[in-house]
Amino acid sequence: MKALLKRREYTLALFILLMLVVMLVVSPRFLEPNNLLNILLNSVTVGILALGQCLVIITKGIDLSVGANMGLVTLVVGMLLLKGESVWLSVVLGLFVGIVCGILNAMLISIIKLPPIIVTLGTMSVYSGLMYLVTGGQWVQNLPNSFLAIGNFKLFGIPAPVLVLLVLLFILTLFMEYTVVGRYVYAIGNNPSAARLAGVSVGRTVVIPYVLLGVSVK
């Protein structure tokens, strides 16, 4: 038990369990299925972004631009939809923008060797500035119902966004535990110099978490 408590994962799990007990005492309806489903639904966006950010943090990096990146991608998709483009084309182009933003961060970090916090703080300002330049600070509204229906879809009573979060969590777990690249990411986070001496291409591998984080913002 002492060994388990020394691991941060189990300590965090116990803390969450304690908070659930407290919330149950305060409000007996807290653990009702509908309430839990609403909590999950409201946490989907942050949860998906956290999956991508997790990989970056494992490599001892950070991406402060993730929120601005998500906003820029959303803006691109929204403007394409309002211009009459198809839903899937808009989604694909938005995904491309997210990947490009992730690659830009990764290149500045891995090639020019700038600190991740400086790079992503700068790109956060760039992405936010682009959004304001295009929109003038106005909301992008009146999106077509064909696009909104994607988020309203349910399977066995579970909203599509929650299903997407669970599927991505499962895929990320498999990726980190059973692929060579996943083990390389762990190795770089543990000791970049040792990973380099072991033959791991640190510069190329570091690009992958930032690109995946760019994908997650979509």
What is the model's pLDDT at position 6? 67
The alpha carbon of residue 73 and the mean position of all alpha carbons in its chain are separated, in whole angstroms, by 13
Could you tell me which of 11, 151, 162, 146 has the C-alpha nearest to residue 84?
A: 146
What is the model's pLDDT at position 4? 63
Is 19 inside any structural domain? no
Could you tell me which of 182, 175, 48 has the C-alpha nearest to residue 190?
A: 182
How many CB atoms within 10 Å of residue 208?
A: 19
Average pLDDT of 76-102?
86
Distance, in Å, from the CA atom of 36 to the CA atom of 87, rounded to the nearest integer, reads: 30
Is 169 inside any structural domain? yes
Helix/strand/coil (H/E/C) assignment for every residue in 115-159: CHHHHHHHHHHHHHHHHHHHHCCCCCCCCCHHHHHHHHCEECCEE
Distance, in Å, from the CA atom of 163 to the CA atom of 45, rounded to the nearest integer, reads: 12
Is 7 inside any structural domain? no
* pLDDT tens per residue, range 144-183: 877 777 777 777 777 888 888 888 889 888 988 888 888 8
Contact 102, 210 (CB under 8 A): yes
Q: Residue 95 pLDDT more than 80?
A: yes
Query: Which is it for strands 158-159 and 154-155: parallel, antiparallel or unpaired?
Result: antiparallel
Distance, in Å, from the CA atom of 103 to the CA atom of 19, rounded to the nearest integer, reads: 38
What is the model's pLDDT at position 1? 65
**Secondary element (H or E) of residue 24:** helix 8-26
Structural domain for 151, as ranges: 63-216
Contact 159, 37 (CB under 8 A): yes
Contact 176, 197 (CB under 8 A): no
Is 153 inside any structural domain? yes
Q: Residue 67 pLDDT more than 80?
A: yes
Q: Residue 59 pLDDT more than 80?
A: yes
Structural domains in the chain (count): 1
Could you tell me the pLDDT band of residue 218, with boundaries at 50, 70 and 90? low
Is 91 inside any structural domain? yes
Is 43 inside any structural domain? no
Is 112 inside any structural domain? yes
Average pLDDT of 113-117?
88
Is 88 inside any structural domain? yes
What is the model's pLDDT at position 49? 86
Average pLDDT of 12-18?
83
Contact 218, 95 (CB under 8 A): yes
